[in-house]
Structure 1
Amino acid sequence: MRAWLGRGLEALLTLWLLATLCFVLLRAAPGGPFDAEKAAPPEVEAALAAQYRLDRPLLSQYGHWLGDVLRGDLGPSFQYPDYTVNELLAASLPISLVNGGLALLLALGLGVPLGVWAALRAGRWTDRLLMFGAGLGLSVPKFVVAPLLVLVFAVGLQWLPAGGWDGSWRSAVLPVVALALPNLAYCARLTRASLLEVLGADYLRAARGRGLSEARLLFAHALRPGLLPVVAWLSPALINVVSGSAVVEQVFGIPGVGRYFVQGALNRDYTLVLGVVLAIGAAIVLINAFVDALRAAMDPRLRDAQA
């Protein structure tokens, strides 16, 4: 219990430091949220600055913003004046969670079996072919994969829409695949390497010498310890999905948090960027806690260390 309480305090401190650093960096960047090619009259600029507290000292702005956040109010959006940041996140976060979650499930659902298949056929042509494909998937960035998928499946074959979001499975296929491909490739390579190491362990050689079948060796003795590195990889995989969602959502025109983050950063929408950073940071903290609990459940040594 004490360990989990310590982790909770550490998570809150991490979120506070992340938000504070983002607040300072946004204010230090050149330009402002209401800059335009044609300058507004001074009285209009003064009214806007007073409305959004931008005329106050930086420390005062930070104190008011932090107090609002502690009350659950992320403030108004500068770029979308008819909406608050809470409303924008409530509309966009579920879309990003659906796409990111499906991409991670696809990466695990295909990457783990492909990695196991390659490990069981190590050195054969099927293993080399799978690892070559995985290396290719890791080397091609998302901003190249996404347009290629649009070009092939939307423009060429006309099987799927090129962009937009209507909540249907057809509008989710290409974004999910674009997000999943690099993680799928890495998952396959990681599973193969880990399982090969486990299969070469002394206790498995002894079990094989006692006449146990290869299937029983794999499912009863090798698969669980072989998947521990894959479970530990889930945290950076989530970060990869989150960072890649900004590119993918821009390419496909999906109104998710990644797209709002990019637009907010370009337009100096301070409150929107800070709201997205806090939401993503909280999601990553929760995922890290879930991954640690899952690893402890799979590995008794970790469970004893956390007790």
Structure 2
Amino acid sequence: MKRLLSTLLEALITLWLLATLCFFLLRAAPGGPFDTEKAAPPEVQAMLERQYRLDLSLPEQYLAWLRDVAHGDLGPSFQYPDYSVNQLVAQALPVSMLNGGLALLLALGIGIPLGIFAGRRAGGWTDRLLMFVAGLGISIPKFVVAPLLVLLFAVILKWLPAGGWGEWRHIVLPVIALALPNIAYCARIMRASMAETMSAEYLQAARSRGYSEWRLLTQHALRPALLPVVAWLSPALINVVTGSAVVEQVFGIPGMGRYFVQGALNRDYTLVLGVVLTVGALIVLINVVVDALRAQMDPRLRRG
């Protein structure tokens, strides 16, 4: 209970610092949510500022926004006046979670077997080839991978749609674009861990007793070799969340990343802050779950 309360307190402080920093940085950026090429009449501008509390001083705006957030209200959207930020987040979050979850499952489902295969053949030509391909996957950014996938599968081959949302065919290319770098990271981490684990003294002793390679792998090597991959899940999920901003823009997906980009470009303060708070809460929750999973798999962490 003491550990849980300490974790919750750290999470609240982290989210408060994140929200505060984002709030004041947004206000410090040039321009405003209602600045257009053709300025509105002064009375209309004053009414809009009063409606969205932009006529208050900066500390008053901050305290009013904190009070609303404490009551679960993320405020109205400046860019989408017919929707609140709560409604936009509720619509976008399942889309981003579906894309990110499928991308991470694909990365684990391909990266772990490739890493095991390469780690058991460390130093061989297959190991070098797989790690070379993985290095290419890491080095190519998502804003290059996503248009290339559109060009190949949507324009040239015409197998999949170039963008949009609503059918399973719209999910394939965004998930692949999000998963490719993570497949490469997962394969490299699993390969290094498996190679180190397979050369451990206790496995050499078990091998000398006549245990089969399959038994050594499944019963003795796999669990300790997976520990670095479990530790990598936190940055992997964060990478998926941050990478979704690029991928959702390219494929026109109505997810959290797209709303964040549009909100930042249009100075939609409440929308950006709502997305930041939601993503920050997800990252904190992910870290807590991954730490618990690591402690469950590694007795040394439980004793610590």
Distance 1:117 1:302 in 2: 28
Q: Does 1:284 align with 2:283?
A: yes
Aligned to 2:210: 211
Q: CA offsets, 1:17-37, max 9 Å, x none?
A: 100000010011111000011
Distance 1:169 1:192 in 2: 32
- Is contact 2:120-2:198 (8 Å) kept? no
Distance 2:300 2:121 in 1: 31
Shift of 1:86: 0.4
Q: Structure 1 length as normaliser, TM-score?
A: 0.98
1:54 alignment partner AA: L
2:89 alignment partner AA: L
Aligned to 1:196: 195
Distance 2:217 2:69 in 1: 50
Aligned to 1:41: 41
Distance 1:206 1:40 in 2: 80
Q: Does 1:32 align with 2:32?
A: yes
Aligned to 2:93: 93
Aligned to 1:72: 72
Structure 1 unaligned segments of length 5 or more: list them: none
- Is contact 2:230-2:290 (8 Å) kept? yes
1:49-60 → structure 2 map (5 Å cutoff): 49-60=49-60
1:132 alignment partner AA: F
Shift of 1:213: 1.2
Q: Secondary structure at the match of 2:210?
A: coil
Shift of 1:123: 2.0
Distance 1:244 1:154 in 2: 21
1:199 alignment partner AA: M
Shift of 1:159: 0.6
Shift of 1:124: 2.0
Aligned to 2:173: 174
Aligned to 1:19: 19
Q: Secondary structure at the match of 1:164?
A: coil
Aligned to 2:295: 296
Deviates more, 1:125-134 or 1:16-25: 125-134
Distance 1:304 1:193 in 2: 26
1:233 alignment partner AA: W
Aligned to 2:111: 111
Distance 1:126 1:159 in 2: 31
Distance 2:29 2:152 in 1: 39
What is the total number of aligned residue pairs between the two structures?
Answer: 304
Aligned to 1:270: 269
Query: RMSD of the TM alignment (CA)?
Result: 0.7
Distance 1:268 1:26 in 2: 7
Shift of 1:237: 0.3
- Is contact 2:115-2:188 (8 Å) kept? yes
Shift of 1:100: 0.3
Q: Does 1:231 align with 2:230?
A: yes
Shift of 1:266: 0.5
Q: Secondary structure at the match of 2:161?
A: coil
Aligned to 1:146: 146
Report the identity percentage: 76
Structure 2 unaligned segments of length 5 or more: list them: none
Q: CA offsets, 1:91-111, max 9 Å, x none?
A: 111000000000000000100
